[in-house]
Amino acid sequence: MRHLRVITPVCLAAAAIAVALSQLSCEKKSDGLSRVVVIGMDGLDPRLCERLMDQGALPHLAALRDKGGYKPLGTTTPPQSPVAWASFITGANPGVHGIFDFIHRDPSKQYAPYYAAAETVDGEGGWAVGEHEIPITLWPFQHTPTQTLLRRHGTPFWDYLDEAGVPTWFYDIPANYPPSPSKHGHLCCLSGMGVPDLLGSYGTYQLFSEDTYVEKRDEGGLRKPLIFKDDRAGGVLTGPKNTSLVKPVDTHVGFDIYRHPTEQTARIEVQGKTIVLKAGEWSDWCKVSFTMKMPSFLPSVHVSGICRFYLQEVRPNFRLYVTPLNIDPSDPGDQRITEPAAFVGKLSDALGLFYTTGFQEDHKALSAGTFVDEEYREQADYVLSERLELLDYAIENYDDGLLFFYFSSTDLQAHMFWWDGDEPHPTRSRQSAAKCHGTIEALYKRMDDIVGDVLERFGDDATILVMSDHGFCNFRRQFSLNAWLRNNGYIHPPECESLLLDRTNPVDWSRTQAYGLGINGLYLNLKGRERDGSVDPAQRDRVLDELTEKLLAVRDPVSGEPVVARVDRADRIYSGPSASVAPDLIVGYHRGYRASWATALGDMSEEEMTDNDSAWSADHCVAAELVPGVIFSNRPVLRASPSLIDLAPTILQEFGVEPPETMVGGSLFETEAVTTRD
């Protein structure tokens, strides 16, 4: 999958001017408007909430339920976070906003996967830095920089509030990077899920250790060797690529490590800063400046990032973990993560340095074995602590209008620690699985305390909504959709081992009828659409019906259980201008099953069904009706079967703004008979 390339040095000066000129007009307090506070808790599950409420463990949420302010909340098909949050933002189905999965594809390049919510467009021109330092373009501003574009279509509901003069604040909103602009100046927004790190990835940590002998990339990280001499070693942080060059190159920052000869401590020297850590200790945020090499007649360009160091072990094997390089909120350069651009600087002035990447809990480090459970738990708890400081700031700087605040903890900790029921965990002992799930129960209690604090602060002076985009379930077995397609004659040749074109046994696209890409998507290799399409459009319906019937008949060879709960045709469930680029089929799995890790990127494994052997042991990318989210409110929820697409019209109506025709949902506080529109 292509990584984002976000560093465009030739634009830094222009970006600085834009930041200086941007006005935080959304800070202006309105007069006499309503107050609506929305707390988004990603992945908060109704089953677990109901069980804990019945046990008396979630008193504040239970109090809302007892007043009629609770119901399960219908999610999207498929129930994936970027899809669901895009529907929350637009009040519309994926056929309108165009996000159908975490992964999307370019059919003209025979799937070429990329992150669905944002896409990087390569720049043109650039400087040739070498012996003669001859610029490719005679004037630097002729260079077209590499840029990342928001691929979520449709109109966000806050545009209607902005037009109506309603001030709105969004903190860590997913599926909105780069942040959409405000036309009327009443929006302040900090982007969340989708914001890359400085390397242009979605979280690449760096691990320096003595037992690494050759630098290599693993799942989500760079592993680099350390060689000590007299208890001193040198390390090099890999920084962002300089994309203003004809041949983009990585930047680097060196640092020195001094290991204490007898104690479990070490000193790190980086760019004039000294960090002393004990084994098992984290540093504070540290600024690191990367220099972009430019021709000698141009001034040096510097890009600032931030990271934290974690000294895992001093002896016998020295291990130093470095977080992904986050965009520096105090000096973001041309990397716009807030609307207006200067808003992030205001946040940093008040709060100091903080995580800016969209995925802040480093689940990849746990999946790769770089972290053990307790280390991941500690790092994730730090993320939550930062988020609570941001919440305090958000509330203290809020008067009226709309306040939205997002928590990722209930999702990214659940992916790693969730395990309910009596079935055996594929990688943990029963005792370990129960202990890990206890972490999730404790987290839910902590979130209940947060809700209690919000309720106490606002009382009845605001409409308060607590919502999630989907629920959760165990992820015990993985299904290789492409291996199944190959074994059933839809991918050729039969001995094919991979869909990736740069590997052995490549696909014969002239005889391949369908392929899986993303967690829930299945595409036909359709003539006139895919680059090497083989399926005649006249045969499309027949092939889709045949695939649907066969997928619903798939059984787990170990247990005999059905694997697929439902298969939806995109042309029957989506409508809107983006529906034509959707996967042809959306595969909804039963609880306990999910598409394999290989399937997500369009690859395949040898076997169709295998145990999920990853630390990522829970998921929600199943049939939508099996993992609804939740809606809690301090007002009775009257809508009989509320859904995510009801949130946007509910919020608009609270401020007296008529929802547009693209929003087919209705207010949570009215029955369907009242709110349904033609």
Confidence (pLDDT) at 503: 56
Percentage with pLDDT > 70 across the chain: 89
Query: At 14, is the secondary structure helix, strand, or coil?
Result: helix
Beta bridge partners of 593: 477
Q: Residue 458 domain-assigned?
A: no
Pairing type for strands 273-278 and 618-619 reads unpaired
For residue 209, which of 98, 370, 97 has the smallest C-alpha distance?
370
Confidence of residue 645 (pLDDT cuts 50, 70, 90): very high
The pLDDT tens digits of the residues spanning 450-473 come to: 999 999 999 899 999 999 999 999
| Cis amide bond preceding 316, omega within 30 | yes
Confidence of residue 301 (pLDDT cuts 50, 70, 90): confident
The pLDDT tens digits of the residues spanning 272-300 come to: 999 999 999 999 999 999 998 776 667 77
Q: Residue 250 domain-assigned?
A: no
For residue 332, which of 321, 348, 351 has the smallest C-alpha distance?
348
CA 141 distance to own-chain centroid = 33
562-565-566 Cα angle (round to 5)? 140
Q: CB of 152 within 8 A of CB of 98? A: yes
Confidence of residue 141 (pLDDT cuts 50, 70, 90): very low
Pairing type for strands 205-209 and 221-225 reads parallel
Q: Residue 320 domain-assigned?
A: no
Q: Is the pLDDT of residue 118 over 50?
A: yes
552: phi then psi, degrees, rounded to nearest 5: -65, -20
Give me 605's structure tokens: 């494994």
Per-residue burial over 346-378, b = 16 or more CB atoms within 10 Å of its CB, e = otherwise: bbbeeeebbbbbbbbbbbbbbbbebbebebbbe
Q: Among 16-25, 36-45, 176-185, which stretch is predicted with the lowest mean pLDDT?
A: 16-25
Q: What gap in Å lies between CA 672 and CA 586, rounded to an integer?
A: 27
Domain CATH number, residue 484 = 3.30.1360
| Cis amide bond preceding 493, omega within 30 | yes
List the alpha helices (DSSP H) in 488-573. 540-552, 570-573
Confidence of residue 146 (pLDDT cuts 50, 70, 90): low
Q: Residue 432 domain-assigned?
A: no
Reported for 249-257, long-range contacts at CB under 8 A and 24+ positions apart, including other chains, are 249/293, 251/290, 251/291, 251/292, 251/293, 251/303, 252/290, 253/288, 253/289, 253/290, 256/232, 257/208, 257/226, 257/228, 257/232, 257/233, 257/318, 257/320
Q: What gap in Å lies between CA 317 and CA 473, rounded to an integer?
A: 37
Q: What gap in Å lies between CA 271 and CA 285, rounded to an integer?
A: 14
Which DSSP string do the residues of 95-133 spell out, in sequence order?
Answer: HHH---SSEEEEGGGTEEEEETTEEEE--B--B--SSS-
Q: Among 110-114, 356-360, 634-638, which stretch is predicted with the lowest mean pLDDT?
A: 110-114
pTM attached to this predicted model:
0.92
Confidence of residue 1 (pLDDT cuts 50, 70, 90): very low
SS3 content of the chain, % helix, strand, coil (to 5): 30, 25, 45
Give me 455's structure tokens: 């309720």
Query: At 403, is the secondary structure helix, strand, or coil?
Result: strand
The pLDDT tens digits of the residues spanning 494-523 come to: 888 777 654 556 889 999 999 999 999 999
Give me the residue label for tokens 């350390």: 226
Give me 248's structure tokens: 């983009």
Pairing type for strands 265-270 and 187-191 reads unpaired
For residue 77, which of 566, 553, 593 has the smallest C-alpha distance?
566
What mean pLDDT comes out for the span 22-47? Answer: 77
Q: Residue 656 domain-assigned?
A: no
Q: What gap in Å lies between CA 492 and CA 508, rounded to an integer?
A: 5
Q: Residue 384 domain-assigned?
A: no
Confidence of residue 27 (pLDDT cuts 50, 70, 90): low
Q: What gap in Å lies between CA 593 and CA 259, rounded to an integer?
A: 46
Q: CB of 649 within 8 A of CB of 664? A: no
647-649-651 Cα angle (round to 5)? 70
List the alpha helices (DSSP H) in 553-586. 570-573
Q: CB of 115 within 8 A of CB of 6? A: no
Confidence of residue 128 (pLDDT cuts 50, 70, 90): low
Give me 26's structure tokens: 């959304």
For residue 71, which of 509, 628, 584 has the smallest C-alpha distance?
628
DSSP structure class, residue 48: H
Q: Residue 604 domain-assigned?
A: yes
Query: At 416, is the secondary structure helix, strand, or coil?
Result: helix
255: phi then psi, degrees, rounded to nearest 5: -150, 160
Q: CB of 520 within 8 A of CB of 108? A: no
Q: Residue 295's CB: how many other CB atoms inside 10 A?
A: 15
Q: Is the pLDDT of residue 168 over 90?
A: yes
Confidence of residue 125 (pLDDT cuts 50, 70, 90): low
The pLDDT tens digits of the residues spanning 101-114 come to: 988 888 887 767 77
- Work out how many domains the chain is built from and give that number: 1
DSSP structure class, residue 144: B
Which DSSP string do the residues of 335-355 spell out, in sequence order?
Answer: ---EESTTHHHHHHHHH-S--
Confidence (pLDDT) at 506: 81
503: phi then psi, degrees, rounded to nearest 5: -120, 175
101: phi then psi, degrees, rounded to nearest 5: -175, 170
Confidence (pLDDT) at 275: 98
Q: For the chain, what is the radius of gyration of the CA atoms?
A: 25
Q: Residue 28's CB: how many other CB atoms inside 10 A?
A: 13
Maximum pairwise Cα distance, the chain: 78
Give the domain extent around 486. Answer: 476-625
CA 268 distance to own-chain centroid = 31
- Residue 126 CB contacts under 8 Å (≥ 6 apart), including other chains: 136, 137, 143, 243, 244, 245, 246
Q: Residue 592's CB: how many other CB atoms inside 10 A?
A: 21
Q: What gap in Å lies between CA 366 and CA 364, rounded to an integer?
A: 5
Confidence of residue 32 (pLDDT cuts 50, 70, 90): low
Q: What gap in Å lies between CA 50 and CA 47, rounded to an integer?
A: 5
Q: CB of 577 within 8 A of CB of 96? A: yes
For residue 118, which of 99, 95, 90 has the smallest C-alpha distance?
99
Q: Write down the mean pLDDT value for the chain.
A: 90
The pLDDT tens digits of the residues spanning 420-445 come to: 988 999 899 999 999 999 999 999 99
